[in-house]
Every structure is written in C-alpha cells, then in structure tokens.
Structure 1
Amino acid sequence: MVTEVYVFAVLILSSFLQTATGFGYAIITAPLLALVLGPKETVMLTMLTGLIIRLFMMRATKHDGSFKAIFPLITASIVGAIPGAYIMTMISNDGLKLFIGIVLLIAVLALWKNYKISINHHKFTEGIVGGLSGFLATTTSINGPPIILYYLNSKAEENKSVFRGNLTRYFLLINIASIVISYFAGTLKIRDLWLQTLLSIPALYIGFYLGEKAFHRINSETFRKASLVMVFVSSIALIGAALSKN
C-alpha cells in the first residue's frame, strides 16, 4: 500500500511539472519510481503514463506550436529509438547513463552562464539531437534533455506557449513511437502494467490541473531557470543511478 501511495504522489508531481513547463515528466518520474520499482518496469510505466499526460496536454496546447515545426526532430528520434530498443534487450546501460549524465551536467553549467554555441547547420543539428533523444527514449525513458537544451540554446523559450506546445507534440509522438518499438522489441509487456497505468490516471489529472494553473503565472526568466534546473536534476539522477550499481 505504501508503494502505491508513493507512486501516486510521484505521478502527481511529475505531471504537474510536465504541464507547467512542457517537459520534465520522465526526468522526475523515472529516477523516483526506480527507488521502488524494477528498472525495466520503471522505464515502461514511465512511457505509458507519459503518453496519458501528453494526451491531456494536447487539449491545453491545441492552439500553440505545430507538428510541422518538430517534424525533423521526430523523424530523427524515431530512427534513434530503433537501435536503442535493440540495445535495451542486450546490455546494461549504466555506463551510458554515467556518460550522458556528465555531458548534460556540463551543458547545463554552460547554459546557466549563458554560454552559446553558434548553430550554422540547423537540419544537421536537429538530426543529431533528435537521434540522441530517440535513443534515450527506448533505453532510459529520459529523452527530454537533448531537445530542451537545443531549444534553450536557440532561445525558443522566449515564447513559452509555443515552446510548451512544440515540446508537447514532440514528446507525444516519440512516446507513441517508443511504445510501439519497445512492444515489438519485446521489452514492453502491457499485460503486466495495464492495471498500474489505469490507476495512474487520477494522479496524472490532478497534476495536470494544478500544472495548467501554474503555467500562466510563470514568467520567461523563471521558465528558463526552471528548464535548466530540470535538466540538472536529470543529469544528477543519471549519474547517481549509474554509480549506485558499482
């Protein structure tokens, strides 16, 4: 019973942050659920519940952002998700988590100090960023940081409504693609998770409702700092998860 209450509370928190900022769901959900659930169960439950909260958010962001804007990123992400699902069936990803966590930590510190990288070839960059995000989606379920850092570097957060709308569309599509790919790869067993997923809906809605109220009270600078803090938390969580197994 304690585990169920804990999971319920985690889902309220993560859906609140997802709704208020446009991202952060897996960043919060995966590390916290991993404390009480198995690693693969955590990844798959995060995928399934993430799909639900993003469907809620599509109604709230139906006039913000566009699928056309995120098409290059989502195409690259689907390509990256396929080898990720294959690797998930073969090897441990602790070393990968450690590497990604360190890289993200460096990137967050650079962005916090307003260090910018000039992007001359946006299509190429979107391909790399999208592919990495897709790979992370099927191996760790934490696929947001590369996309968030890319958007922040291009100052997309200046219009927070469009930023949130584009992120919602991106995460919805990669969520669906990851679930389908994981299912056919044999790592997603819906019959073992359908009840937990169904019971999560009230928690997800509570978080969504509170997050939607908070979103309209966040200014652009606060939004930017919250974004960087989320990626920082993600990097620390990934490093901690990897080192705890050693």
Structure 2
Amino acid sequence: MELIGVAVLCVAVASVIGGATGFGTSLIATPFMLMAGIGLTETVVVNLVVALVTRLGVTYQLRRHIDWPRVAVLGAASLPGAWLGVQTLGLLPEQLLAPAAGAITVLCGLAMALPASRTARPPSRWATAATGAISGYFSTTTSLNGPPVVLLLSRAKLPPLSFIADLAGYFVVTSVLSLAMLWAGTGIDVPGLLPLLAACTVAGVVANQLGISIAQRLPTHVFRSAVIALVVIAGLLTIVTA
C-alpha cells in the first residue's frame, strides 16, 4: 500500500507538468518510480495507461487543433518500433535500457535548444514516420516515447495548444498499440497491477486537468523554454536513477 501511495504521488506531480506541456508525465514519473522500487516493466505499463486515459480527454478537448494526417503517420509508424521494443525486452537488461533512453532524451532536449530557422517548417512525411518508429520503440521499453516527437513538433514551431493536441493524439494511438503488445508479448501480471493502475489513473486525470489550465495561460516563449528544460532534466534523472 505504501508503494502505491508513492507511485500516486509521482504520477500526480508528473501529470501536472504533463498537462501543462503536453507531455512529460512519463519522463518525470519514470525515474522517481524506479527509485521507489517499482520495476521497469510495471512502470511502463502504469505510464502508458495513465497517458492513454489522460490524453483521451485532451484529444477530445483539443480535437480542432489536431493535425490528423500527421498523427496518423506517427501512430502507424510507431507499430513496428513498439513490436521491436517488446522483442528486445527479454534480451537487454533494465540497467541498460533506462540509461540509454535517458541519454537520448537529453540529446533531444539539447537539439531543441539549438537555434532554429525563424520560418516554421512542417516535418516531412519521412521524418514523421522515422520519429514515430523510434518513439514506438521507447514506448514499450521505457515509456519515454515523448522526446523524439517533441523534437519533431518543436521544429515546426506550433502554437502551444496545437503542439499539445498533436502529442495527445499520438499518445492515444501509441499507448493502445504498446499496451496490447506488452500484454501479448510479455509475462506482465496485469490483474495484479489493477490496484496500482486504478489509483495512479485517478491521480493522473485530476492532476492533468490542473496542468491544462496552466498551459492555457503560458506565453509561447515561456512554454518552449519549459519544454526544453523538462526534457533535459528528465533525461538526466533517468540516467542517474537507473
């Protein structure tokens, strides 16, 4: 019961940040849940379920801001990546997967901080597909599937609500696919996780709404700076705590 309380606190704090930036729930929750002694696979499942439930509401709320063709390409491309992630779960130790994902997360954050063109450039279909595949792999291995897509969308200089909306649509698709593959391809005890999943999902939904209200008041430049800082810090935390 104490472990569930710690996980709920981690998810609640992370969901406020996730609601405000459109992503980051898994980035923040993962290192702290690992520190609390929750296994990597269990952490991944909890994060994916919370992401699915909270992003469903966001997708509906911000549906007019979503670029549906882009979300469709990202989601479809995540399928082979997610499948590959499940296949490698039994081959690579947790001690290697988490630090590797953390390092790539930091690199994504640093790339986002580099000076970019003043002109917004929508990503090509090939770049979108490649990003979806990479994120799909991270989804089933560590649940840290946000940074590659965040980097892709940040280069397009989307308004905050469009940025959050596209991410939400993508997270809904990839979470469903990833959970289905993890359930079918691993020995995860889903019924045994139900108390943890239920408590964390309720906390995530409530905290996420608070985060969304914050996002609607953030100026674009503040929003971008917060996103970059979040990516880098979360990546470093994942490396240190793995």
Q: TM-score, normalised by structure 1?
A: 0.88
User: How far did residue 127 of structure 1 move?
Assistant: 2.2
The structural deviation recorded for 1:83 is 0.8
**How is 1:1-246 mapped onto 2 (pairs within 5 angstroms)?**
1-36=1-36, 37-115=38-116, 122-156=124-158, 159-242=159-242
- Following the alignment from structure 1 to structure 2, what is the Cα–Cα distance between the partners of residues 52 and 238? 24
1:140 Cα deviation after fit = 0.5
More off after superposition, 230-239 vs 17-26? 230-239
- Distance change (3 Å), C-alpha of 1:166 and 1:14: same
Give how far 1:121 is off.
7.8
Q: What secondary structure is seen at the aligned counterpart in 2 of 1:193?
A: helix
**Runs of 4 or more consecutive aligned structure 1 residues displaced over 6 Å after TM superposition:** 118-121
- Confirm or deny: 8 A CA contact 2:52 2:175 kept in the other structure: yes
Shift of 1:105: 2.4
Deviations, residues 151-188 of structure 1 (Å, cap 9, x unaligned): 112223xx111111111000111000000011110243
Deviation per residue, 1:51-90 (Å, 9 max, x gap): 2211232332233214322111111111110010111123
Q: Which moved more, 1:100-109 or 1:123-132?
A: 100-109
2:138 maps to a residue whose letter is: L
Deviation at 1:16, TM superposition (A): 1.3
Deviations along 1:177-203, one digit per CA (max 9) or x if unpaired, are 000011110243211111211222431
In the alignment, the residues of structure 1 paired with residue 42 and residue 104 of structure 2 have an alpha-carbon distance, to the nearest angstrom, of 26
Corresponding residue pairs, total: 239
Counterpart Cα distance in 2 of 1:18 and 1:218 = 14
CA change 1:201–1:74 in 2 (3 A) is closer
The 1:19–1:120 alpha-carbon spacing in structure 2 relative to 1, beyond 3 Å, is closer
C-alpha separation between the residues in 2 aligned to 1:195 and 1:233? 30
Q: Distance in 2 between matches of 1:62 and 1:208?
A: 17
Q: What CA distance in whole angstroms lies between the structure 2 residues aligned with 1:53 and 1:85?
A: 24
- 1:224–1:6: structure 2 CA closer, same or farther, 3 Å change rule? same
Q: Which ranges of structure 2 fall in alignment gaps of 5 or more residues?
A: none
CA distance in 1 between counterparts of 2:195 and 2:99 reads: 32
